[in-house]
A and B are shown apart, each in its own frame.
Chain A
């Protein structure tokens, strides 16, 4: 039952991405976004672009945007940390609208997983607005984050909590 709900919610997030007009998802998913990845695989209108390192996802997304497409990236929080130099060197100075879907690893570990401890402070340090996607009602936050990315020509993150999949 839990997995069915997770699949449903992942499907709803994908529907939200379709509403946003996302054409490509550049991805290296983690545990938190596994269901979302599966749902994306089943969605023919969105092209998945795999990368070997999350830092590449930012640059590939930038190239897609320059080429007239509407990319999003799908990575884990650890991958967000890995992407630091790409965010500094390409995403922020490029000021292109980018929806970052970030799996919030360790959010429920009460501070034992530093991947969770550092995520929001590092997002703030990079001046990247973010919203937390948890449960059915917050799926629309993905759409809102995308709208903000376009209105302000910047990267906006949607943090995917594991509970949003359960």
Chain B
């Protein structure tokens, strides 16, 4: 995995004349690599949980002529959540549906796994619907054996265009 500082070093090469808004911890790393401090702005002057993107939004609204880049952190989930549905394997019988909500709740952010109570431990098909720039995309995992995940979670990684990531 690429280290955060290295990622920022690369971002700095491509920032152009963008105003870069950082949060508490990203400010520390960005200060090491930025070559245009005049256009750097610390959103969390004293640290503000997950508000760099909000400040960046305000700045972009005020100055639509400027590019604004936000390096967020500090507990801000940057992906929309997903819908998760379980079906009896090979059928269209819906056994349950749940929402993985990453932050639309009032005064809360969340990345808790969703939980399903199953009537048995037979194979299931899992449908995960995510929200991408191109709209809703569904990923299917066929013939998932719940016994395999006793005491742990099924983790599914889906990229921003709705493709399954290994």
Residues of chain A having any CB pair with chain B under 8 Å: 24, 26, 47, 49, 51-53, 55-56, 58-69, 71, 82, 85-86, 88-90, 92-94
On whether the beta carbons of A67 and B61 are closer than 8 Å, the reply is yes
On whether the beta carbons of A89 and B51 are closer than 8 Å, the reply is yes
Q: Of the candidates A26, A53, A61, which one forms a contact with B107 in the assembled complex, judged by CB atoms under 8 Å apart? A: A53
On whether the beta carbons of A89 and B54 are closer than 8 Å, the reply is no
Q: Is B73 an interface residue (CB 8 A)?
A: no
Q: Is B45 an interface residue (CB 8 A)?
A: yes
Interface centre among A47, A55, A63, A88 (most CB of B within 10 A): A63
Interface string of B11-37 (1 = CB under 8 A from A): 000000000010010000000000000
Q: Known interface pairs A66-B41, A68-B63, A89-B44. Does A59 touch B49 (Cβ–Cβ under 8 Å)?
A: no
On whether the beta carbons of A90 and B51 are closer than 8 Å, the reply is yes
On whether the beta carbons of B54 and A63 are closer than 8 Å, the reply is yes
A-facing residues in B33-89 (Cβ within 8 Å): 41, 43-49, 51-52, 54-63, 66
On whether the beta carbons of B45 and A64 are closer than 8 Å, the reply is no
Interface extent on B, as a size class? 20 to 34
Q: Whole-angstrom distance between the alpha carbons of A90 and B51 in the complex?
A: 9
Residues of chain B having any CB pair with chain A under 8 Å: 21, 24, 41, 43-49, 51-52, 54-63, 66, 104, 106-107
Residues of A within 8 A of B104 (CB): 52
On whether the beta carbons of A68 and B43 are closer than 8 Å, the reply is no
Interface centre among B44, B51, B58, B106 (most CB of A within 10 A): B58
Chain A's closest residue to B21 (CB) is A63
Chain A's closest residue to B108 (CB) is A53
Chain A nearest CB: distance from B52 CB in Å? 8
Residues of B within 8 A of A58 (CB): 51, 54
